A and B are shown apart, each in its own frame.
Chain A
């Protein structure tokens, strides 16, 4: 019995170690590569760089690329750059921060409103609306993107409206449809508190503003953080709306578009040797998202199970 237990235990630890290695190694590789001093064309071929340097980070910050020893201006703009006429062009990283902040504010308000309504208020068409949202979720969202693209193009030909502000609006305006997680949270708040407030003559607005919201600070923080994180990992919409059928100017890229461009712009065989810089940029993006995610994981679980069961 005891030997069996030891064998089973060691087997489990072996498997878990294997899993840990497989899962963590790409990320370790990414971090190691961002400190690689190997030539751009070769560096990806080694797990541990042969030479170490801060070159990728310097090249990322200065928007340059080292091709066979000669330093050229790169085809991205990460933090910002001084243009030829002396003005400052804000880069993808800063763009993404402010798109995230704007869409965070809007979508937090919308999500809280809709989930509160679905959780606490009873009105005609409530279940119908929830069902409609479920059905709409099955349409590929990209279809609507095409129409939005041509709407913006039709309103201001030449892409005048296809800017970061509109991108933030597009990210956040439909946020009311993601009500599952916060509705689940509101459902757990006792209704007796509401009733007690009603006895005191509070209106439903006062209940929402003075009682429910202060009690649900964690979910507010969670919704806000999730909304803040979304633009960092979102590629299609930003690439299509900001670039679309026309050639993009990389001043108004978001980080996702910039990172994708570092590896995939141009022909397969003549792609610019940006791999190391990509790694530095990816680590740059991954650090804030990882920190935020660590805050959020508790509610993530609640969202997956709670939302699904009620769905």
Chain B
């Protein structure tokens, strides 16, 4: 036995050693192959490929940018046009809605058009009511109550804003506080609309019964053929709803038939929808035109034109969608687009055309269902509350049953297995342990997909049972456990049986009720006697028959109608039959539509702010802060751009968009120098050049330094990184001022220049080059004009420009290194390993893996830094302050050779000789447009890049 075993072991050992040798051989072969047989791509090929790829991509980018320009231009045009075109219809629609709301509501609702919150207060929604009321009082106090004579502060501020600079000693507060008054006015209007909406909602919650009754009445009216056949008026003409708008139907119903407003509204809505869409609602199941034969000819004509219009409209829509497909996809991928377009749009069109030719009528068949369901939703909204309750009860009992049936799991969740074994079940459930218990229980209950209020209930119930067993009956350990588990299972079974009973009793109760209702409507004789005995008796009888209260009420009203018609000699049975048919349809769609609606109490509304509406409470402070300190001032400064607020009109100014003219007036001149327009164009050019150079120099050099620092096998990596990080940690304005001092001319004892002019070679060199005469002996006396000469400047503006770019590299590289280092560490190493096996050298790895990865992750931050550099105030302001200035034609504008638009803006606002706020604001808007344009274009381009890359 043992020998056999040993042999076997030997075999195993041999086998394993053989395989290992084989594998070792394999690897060495691979290694040798790697060393000798594979040729790496020559570097020029790699570089050439990379350049070609880059050029191709750049070409696509340029195309794409052009495309984006057109796209955003079209978008702007679209929104402006849309806004203009929507003004009048918008006012009409909103006005009509407001009139209807006013007509519908009771006195409190009508009062809330003047006293905000009246409707809410009447219906005991104290929170909303009081808030709206306080807002209104505060607003009217601000607007109209005079504090120091005249009208109120708000009205006078608005007035002064419009008539800016007329009859005034100081316009500055007028502009700013007038703007605030406008903001307050607009804000109040929004709150007013919200209060009206709230008032209507609060009315609807309490007036739901009334509304429902109105609907019922409306249904009877609509079923009364008199309306459709036209009622003979006193002058012998007929009222023909088919040719009326629903507003005029509404009016007619009120004037001619004496309906109250609510009923009239409901009836007119439904009547109008039927008149406007006879095909949708006109035919009954047998294909007969049920509502009124007078419409038949109208309906035929209508359906012909309508069918044409519908089809035309759909064709147009499809065309639009087709264009949109091309519009939203990348234009440089036409092949994919064509396939996509074919799949998504051409195929359906084909199918549609085919289908339309074959079966034109079914189109409307579908339409019927949709409209029917919508109508049913309105009518049965309140019935749905009950249906939801029913569903919720079933869900809850089911959850209770499943959780309790698995009693041992529940018990263990509460005590935990460890605790059980350790303390043998004698754990006290004290307060501190409760939280952890809850967590465990929730994890168990969570697996049963139980809603959280119920989970809470289950936990407390289970714990109370355990406590009861332990306290009263004094059970311990395993005994306690088995007793509790038994009890849990018992409970679970009880819940399960309860659920069965409940389902038996209530499943399809509305449907069954409806069925019974329909049956009684078809055979009215059974309930007729109950009807004769009065409403209460009738409803009781209905309940006995399993008819729900709502259906019973509907049936009762129907019987009333029926008897009335029967008494007048008409055919009441037809009415009942029609009712029955409609009821069938409505009930069919009942189950298909979800409805959630519960009246909300004041307390619940307050509590909502910690839960459902937590976003509102958590965002309130940040939004208020941002609006007050950032957004409103920015908006106000847009208005400043349309005044002539400059040093000539410093305290009194008026509406005059002169600054816009002066910015775009490039060839004009002003007293003492060139125009602002000239300065603007020059600074715009320099700003863009600066932004491009500073962004890309920092980015590219930063990546190179980061690659060096993160090189494998580098000693003291932390040291090199810390050196760079220290320069970030020192506030940039300090290091910039230090740089300024370093590069100052020697007359201001700048470090570098003081050293240079002491060197003979430098003096000799600059004398020999004859630069001295060009710049007034500047170089030989004060050194290289890195920043400016002492006193007057010189014409060598290119040197300060280079200086700021180089110093910005000093500032910017550590930021790039810091962010790139983290990314470099996160590059998956298997990418490198697999590429090495494929024969890629370090250069190829750099070009094909490292750099694309870095570009992919940091690409978006490139845009941020580009925009940041357009607005880079610090570097220019602290390093050169815009110098050199004063030697050329930009003197009067206050800008220097190295000024950016943003520093010019600062100079315009703060320099006491300028104080040109209007021009400053114009510049601000232009900078915004510039930044917005660049980032919009770049973001949409980068978005496409991200999708194509395969790194994530």
What per-residue 1/0 map shows which CB atoms of A1-45 lie under 8 Å from chain B? 000000001001101100110111011011000000000011111
Contact B625 A173, beta carbon cutoff 8 Å:
yes
Residues of B with C-beta under 8 A to A151: 176-177, 180, 633
Interface segment, one of B226-234, B590-598, B748-756 = B748-756
Instruction: Decide if A52 is an interface residue (CB 8 Å cutoff).
Output: no
Interface segment, one of A57-65, A191-199, A214-222 = A191-199
Q: Contact partner of B738 among A30, A114, A117, A173, CB < 8 A?
A: A30
In chain B, residues 628-643, which have Cβ atoms closer than 8 Å to a Cβ of chain A? 628-634, 636-637, 640
In angstroms, Cα B637 to Cα A175, docked, is 20
Residues of A with C-beta under 8 A to B612: 204
Interface segment, one of A67-75, A78-86, A142-150 = A142-150
Given contacts A256-B733, A293-B729, contact A142 B633 (CB under 8 A): no
In chain B, residues 784-841, which have Cβ atoms closer than 8 Å to a Cβ of chain A? 790-791, 810, 813-815, 818-819, 821-823
Q: Contact partner of A304 among B631, B727, B748, B861, CB < 8 A?
A: B861
Contact A143 B734, beta carbon cutoff 8 Å:
no
Residues of A with C-beta under 8 A to B731: 232-233, 256, 285-286, 289
Contact A27 B452, beta carbon cutoff 8 Å:
no
Q: Contact partner of A150 among B176, B729, B735, CB < 8 A?
A: B176
Instruction: Decide if A269 is an interface residue (CB 8 Å cutoff).
Output: yes
Given contacts A143-B637, A144-B629, A154-B173, contact A278 B737 (CB under 8 A): yes
Contact A311 B860, beta carbon cutoff 8 Å:
yes
Residue of A nearest to B641 (CB): A143
Given contacts A44-B749, A300-B818, contact A233 B732 (CB under 8 A): yes
What per-residue 1/0 map shows which CB atoms of A101-144 lie under 8 Å from chain B? 00000100111011011000111001000000111111111111
Contact B818 A236, beta carbon cutoff 8 Å:
no
In chain B, residues 852-891, which have Cβ atoms closer than 8 Å to a Cβ of chain A? 857-858, 860-861, 864, 867, 871, 873-874, 877-878, 881
Residues of A with C-beta under 8 A to B711: 12
Given contacts A45-B746, A109-B621, contact A20 B720 (CB under 8 A): yes
Residues of B with C-beta under 8 A to A199: 442, 445-446, 450, 452, 455
In angstroms, Cα B728 to Cα A56, docked, is 25
In angstroms, Cα B548 to Cα A234, docked, is 72
Q: Contact partner of B633 among A138, A147, A203, CB < 8 A?
A: A147
Residues of B with C-beta under 8 A to A282: 730, 734, 737-738
In angstroms, Cα B621 to Cα A293, docked, is 28
Contact A305 B629, beta carbon cutoff 8 Å:
no
Contact B452 A138, beta carbon cutoff 8 Å:
no
Residue of B nearest to A179 (CB): B622
Number of CB contacts from chain A to chain B under 8 A = 307
What per-residue 1/0 map shows which CB atoms of B600-616 lie under 8 Å from chain A? 00000001001110111
What per-residue 1/0 map shows which CB atoms of B490-525 lie under 8 Å from chain A? 000000000000000000000000000000000000
| Chain B nearest CB, measured from A186 CB (Å) | 12
In chain B, residues 703-750, which have Cβ atoms closer than 8 Å to a Cβ of chain A? 705, 708-709, 711, 713-715, 720, 723-735, 737-742, 744, 746, 748-750
In angstroms, Cα B906 to Cα A244, docked, is 11
In angstroms, Cα B902 to Cα A218, docked, is 36
- Which size class do B's interface residues fall under? 35 or more
Interface segment, one of B288-296, B374-382, B674-682, B909-917 = B909-917
What per-residue 1/0 map shows which CB atoms of A141-179 lie under 8 Å from chain B? 111111110110110000000000000011011111100
Residue of B nearest to A43 (CB): B749
Residues of A with C-beta under 8 A to B748: 44, 268
Contact B729 A113, beta carbon cutoff 8 Å:
no
Contact B622 A139, beta carbon cutoff 8 Å:
no
Contact A176 B625, beta carbon cutoff 8 Å:
yes
What per-residue 1/0 map shows which CB atoms of A287-311 lie under 8 Å from chain B? 0011011100100111011001101
Instruction: Decide if A259 is an interface residue (CB 8 Å cutoff).
Output: yes
Q: Contact partner of A143 among B173, B610, B821, B920, CB < 8 A?
A: B920
Residues of A with C-beta under 8 A to B456: 200-201
Instruction: Decide if B391 is an interface residue (CB 8 Å cutoff).
Output: no
Instruction: Decide if A245 is an interface residue (CB 8 Å cutoff).
Output: yes
In angstroms, Cα B732 to Cα A228, docked, is 16
In angstroms, Cα B442 to Cα A200, docked, is 6
In angstroms, Cα B754 to Cα A45, docked, is 6
In angstroms, Cα B621 to Cα A111, docked, is 10
Residue of B nearest to A202 (CB): B452
In angstroms, Cα B623 to Cα A13, docked, is 51
Interface segment, one of B77-85, B535-543, B657-665, B928-936 = B928-936
Instruction: Decide if B330 is an interface residue (CB 8 Å cutoff).
Output: no
Contact B871 A173, beta carbon cutoff 8 Å:
no
Given contacts A138-B931, A200-B456, contact A174 B626 (CB under 8 A): yes
| Chain B nearest CB, measured from A247 CB (Å) | 10
In angstroms, Cα B626 to Cα A110, docked, is 10
Contact A138 B729, beta carbon cutoff 8 Å:
no
Instruction: Decide if A275 is an interface residue (CB 8 Å cutoff).
Output: yes
Contact A110 B738, beta carbon cutoff 8 Å:
no
Q: Contact partner of B810 among A23, A106, A139, A176, CB < 8 A?
A: A23
In angstroms, Cα B909 to Cα A169, docked, is 22
Residue of B nearest to A172 (CB): B625
Instruction: Decide if A235 is an interface residue (CB 8 Å cutoff).
Output: yes
In angstroms, Cα B104 to Cα A245, docked, is 59
Residues of B with C-beta under 8 A to A146: 633, 637, 640, 909, 917, 920-921
Residues of A with C-beta under 8 A to B724: 19, 23
Contact B819 A304, beta carbon cutoff 8 Å:
yes
- Which size class do A's interface residues fall under? 35 or more
Q: Contact partner of A200 among B452, B822, B877, CB < 8 A?
A: B452
Residue of B nearest to A154 (CB): B173
Contact A269 B790, beta carbon cutoff 8 Å:
yes
Residues of B with C-beta under 8 A to A293: 725, 728-729
Instruction: Decide if B618 is an interface residue (CB 8 Å cutoff).
Output: yes
Residue of A nearest to B867 (CB): A138
Residues of B with C-beta under 8 A to A197: 442
Instruction: Decide if A90 is an interface residue (CB 8 Å cutoff).
Output: no
| Chain A nearest CB, measured from B437 CB (Å) | 10
In angstroms, Cα B621 to Cα A117, docked, is 12
| Chain A nearest CB, measured from B812 CB (Å) | 12
Given contacts A286-B731, A305-B858, contact A47 B751 (CB under 8 A): yes
Contact A45 B751, beta carbon cutoff 8 Å:
yes
What per-residue 1/0 map shows which CB atoms of B916-950 lie under 8 Å from chain A? 01001100100110011001000100000000000
In angstroms, Cα B614 to Cα A216, docked, is 19
Instruction: Decide if A250 is an interface residue (CB 8 Å cutoff).
Output: no
Contact A142 B906, beta carbon cutoff 8 Å:
yes
Residues of A with C-beta under 8 A to B921: 143, 146
Contact A140 B819, beta carbon cutoff 8 Å:
no
Instruction: Decide if B143 is an interface residue (CB 8 Å cutoff).
Output: no
Residues of B with C-beta under 8 A to A94: none
Most buried by A among B442, B625, B708: B625
What are 30 A-B residue pairs whose CB atoms fall within 8 Å in the complex? A12-B711, A12-B714, A24-B726, A24-B727, A26-B742, A27-B730, A29-B738, A29-B751, A44-B749, A47-B751, A114-B622, A139-B924, A140-B871, A140-B928, A142-B924, A146-B633, A175-B625, A195-B446, A204-B612, A232-B731, A245-B912, A260-B733, A263-B740, A268-B790, A282-B738, A286-B731, A289-B731, A290-B726, A297-B725, A309-B860
Question: Knowing that A16-B714, A24-B726 are A-B contacts, what are 20 other residue pairs whose CB atoms are under 8 Å apart, sorted by A's residue number?
Answer: A20-B720, A27-B730, A27-B735, A44-B741, A44-B744, A44-B748, A114-B623, A117-B619, A126-B615, A139-B924, A144-B629, A147-B633, A199-B455, A200-B438, A200-B452, A201-B456, A268-B791, A301-B818, A304-B858, A308-B860
What residues of chain A have their CB less than 8 Å away from a CB belonging to chain B?
9, 12-13, 15-16, 19-20, 22-24, 26-27, 29-30, 41-47, 106, 109-111, 113-114, 116-117, 121-123, 126, 133-148, 150-151, 153-154, 169-170, 172-177, 195-201, 203-206, 208, 232-233, 235-236, 240, 244-245, 256, 259-260, 263-264, 268-269, 275, 278, 282, 285-286, 289-290, 292-294, 297, 300-302, 304-305, 308-309, 311
